[in-house]
Amino acid sequence: METREFDLNIEKVLENWSVAHAIREIIANALDEQILTDTQEIKIYKDEGNNWHVRDYGRGLKYIHLTQNENEEKLSHPCLIGKFGVGLKDALATFDRHKIGVVIDSKYGHITIGQSTKHGFSDITTLHAYINEPINVDFIGTDFCLSGCTDNDINDAKNFFLQFANLKLYEKTEYGEVYSIRNGSAEIFINGIKVAEEDNFLFSY
């Protein structure tokens, strides 16, 4: 089967996003899928070729997930990080801007990204996903393989998440949890992801 081109229709790239911000979105989607499917913990690891992987063991990404709209399943679940299905496309655009290679594998397809002319408009070039047949139809979950990102990019991305922060838990309350601070600044987490820092707080929350 020949490669199919899926126009991501991205007109404006989030120029303030770093590679770590893009990786954060991939990790967030993987964690959400873990919660939704009650599957094993995600894996973040480097392979022998120095490529980084973010792997979940959920239902597997389909090309339709590359469309941008509200995700009713996520909206109805109070404990998830993502809600609107926009982070993945923003992440892919950021990777492309920073020349980070992306390969996505699931039982539904083998996906890469790149620039192509818009269908019917040869003078306009946009970011596309190239959809190919799956390498393994029995593959469980989704694997994002990233080439060109650094260890620091991965560590910075992981630091957005409470579960990777290694903060000491001091107290649990009906309103939330109180943690130690790191690097002299308190961090505020909602559903496990850092949303703000506050120099004047004594603890992280």
Question: Both 103 and 147 in a single domain?
Answer: yes
Of 72, 107, 74, 89, nearest to 25 (Cα)? Answer: 89
Instruction: Assign 48 to helix, strand or coil.
Output: coil
State whether residue 31 is helix, strand or coil.
Answer: helix
Say whether both 205 and 174 belong to one domain.
Answer: yes
Considering the domain architecture, whether residues 99 and 194 belong to the same structural domain is answered as no
pLDDT of residue 48: 95
**CA dist list (Å): 151 to 51, 78, 117, 121:** 10, 32, 33, 39
Number of structural domains, the chain? 2
The confidence score (pLDDT) of residue 144 equals 98
Decide: residue 65, CB within 10 A, 0-12 exposed, 13-18 middle, 19+ buried: middle
Instruction: Specify the pLDDT at position 169.
Output: 95
Q: In CATH, what number is assigned to the domain containing residue 150?
A: 3.30.565
Neighbours of 15 (CB within 10 A): 7
| 155 and 125 together in one domain | yes
Domain housing 192: 161-205
Q: Model-level pTM?
A: 0.87
CA nearest neighbour of 144 among 69, 33, 38: 33
DSSP structural state of residue 38 = T
Q: Contact 60/107 with Cβ under 8 angstroms?
A: yes
Residue 148 shares a structural domain with residue 186 = no
Beta bridge partners of residue 204, listed in sequence order: 179
Reading the chain (205 residues) residue by residue, the pLDDT tens digits are 678 877 777 655 667 789 999 999 999 999 999 999 999 999 999 999 999 999 999 999 998 888 755 555 554 455 555 544 558 888 999 999 999 999 999 999 999 998 877 777 777 778 888 999 999 999 999 999 999 999 999 999 999 999 998 999 999 998 899 999 998 899 999 889 999 999 989 989 8
Same domain, 154 and 171: no
The span from the CA of 163 to the CA of 143, in Å, is 20
Residues 131 and 165 in one domain: no
What per-residue confidence (pLDDT) applies to 180? 95
* pLDDT value of residue 75: 47
If asked whether residues 166 and 125 sit together in one domain, one would say: no
Query: 3-state class of 72 per DSSP?
Result: helix
Same domain, 41 and 90: yes
Same domain, 171 and 127: no
Same domain? For 59 and 154 the reply is yes
Same domain, 155 and 185: no
d(CA 187, CA 35): 23
